[in-house]
Every structure is written in structure tokens, then in C-alpha cells.
């Protein structure tokens, strides 16, 4: 199923994740999936992509400054049960965020299921930009979030899987 992922930069200091998640909790918003990474990894990926395309949008000094500054932030990507309310809440509280469509799939928790899903993307010529998932117990389904380059094609192909 196509869902809306929220990505935001959060100051990489003690208490910030608690502040964000408490804000969501107080509003009755449940987090369905979450991944956090040092924002400098994300920025380095952007530099690498820019290098391949040879399209610079800033000087080398600006890139070095951005890389240094990005270490002070974490990149958080998450899915929630009340997307519109969350976007409203984040806006009112002046968070810097973006939204994008992703494919969220509940998979059986058995060896080879994720491999089959990832292979299907490859067979259809769809590149996966990133994926994250969770498992709550061996007997329950896993929730995996895929960010494919072509969301429309992925949604059509995986309509039966989601």
C-alpha cells in the first residue's frame, strides 16, 4: 500500500527525540514505523549523487560546511496512523520536514520473504532508494517500508502484495 512518509531533521541532542515523540503521543498519534540516522550520512549521499550527475548546486566550501553542520542533526523517517494531523502538528511546532510516498508492506516473518520482495523490485527494473522494517515477534507479520524510484510502477506491481 502507498503511504506517506514524513522525513524531518531533528537536533542531535539529548531529549529531542523524546520531545518529538511526546508531542505525537499527546496528540494521540501512533508511530507505525521509524528509522533514524545521522544526517551527515544523508548529506554525504546527496554529495555522491551530485558528483555522479556533475550538477553542483553550491561551491565545495558550501558542501564542506553543510557536511559539518549536518552532523548536528538526525534524519528521522517515519509513518504514522494520522498523517494529516501529524503534518499539521509538525508545522505548528516549526519542525523542518518533508513528505513522500512510499510502499509499506506487511510480510510474513519467514526466511526468503524479504528476498522475494526485493527480487521482484529488481525483476521489474525498479531501484530501491532505501528500505527499513521491523519485527515484533516470530509469529507476527513484519512491516517493511520501501522507497522506490518509481512509486507509481511499484504501486501497480505490488498492489496484490500490500
Q: Kindly give the pairing relationship between strand 142-148 and strand 128-134.
A: antiparallel
Question: Nearest to residue 133, comparing CAs of 156, 106, 160?
Answer: 106
pLDDT of residue 152: 94
For the 2-157 domain, the top CATH level (class) is alpha beta
Q: What is the rounded average pLDDT for all residues in the chain?
A: 83
Arithmetic mean of pLDDT, 78-104: 94
* Domains of the chain by residue range: 2-157
Residue 37 clears pLDDT 70, i.e. is over it: yes
- Rounded Cα–Cα distance for residues 72 and 68 (Å): 8
Q: How far is CA 70 from CA 4, 9, 45, in A?
A: 24, 9, 12
Q: Please, are residues 72 and 23 in contact by the beta-carbon 8 Å criterion?
A: no
More confident residue, 34 or 47: 34
DSSP per-residue letters across 57-113: SS-HHHHHHHHHHHTTEEEEEEEES-HHHHHHHHHHTT--EEEEEEEEEEE-SSTTH
The pLDDT tens digits for 1-24 are: 899 999 998 888 899 999 999 999
In this predicted structure, the answer to whether residue 54 has a pLDDT above a threshold of 60 is: no
Amino acid at each position: 500500500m502507498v503511504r506517506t512518509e514524513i522525513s524531518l531533521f531533528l537536533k542531535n541532542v539529548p531529549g529531542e527525540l523524546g520531545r518529538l515523540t511526546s508531542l505525537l503521543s499527546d496528540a494521540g498519534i501512533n508511530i507505525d514505523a521509524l528509522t533514524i540516522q545521522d544526517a551527515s550520512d544523508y548529506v554525504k549521499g546527496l554529495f555522491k549523487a551530485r558528483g555522479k550527475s556533475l550538477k553542483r548546486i553550491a561551491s565545495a566550501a558550501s558542501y564542506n560546511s553543510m557536511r559539518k553542520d549536518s552532523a548536528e542533526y538526525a534524519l528521522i523517517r517515519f509513518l504514522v496512523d494520522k498523517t494529516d494531523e501529524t503534518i499539521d502538528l509538525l508545522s505548528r511546532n516549526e519542525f523542518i520536514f518533508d513528505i513522500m510516498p512510499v510502499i509499506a508492506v506487511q510480510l510474513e516473518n519467514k526466511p526468503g520473504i524479504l528476498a522475494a520482495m526485493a527480487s521482484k523490485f529488481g525483476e521489474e527494473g525498479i531501484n530501491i532508494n532505501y528500505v527499513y522494517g521491523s519485527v515484533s515477534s516470530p509469529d507476527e507479520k513484519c512491516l517493511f517500508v520501501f522507497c522506490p524510484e518509481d512509486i507509481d510502477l511499484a504501486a501497480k506491481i505490488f498492489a496484490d502484495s500490500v
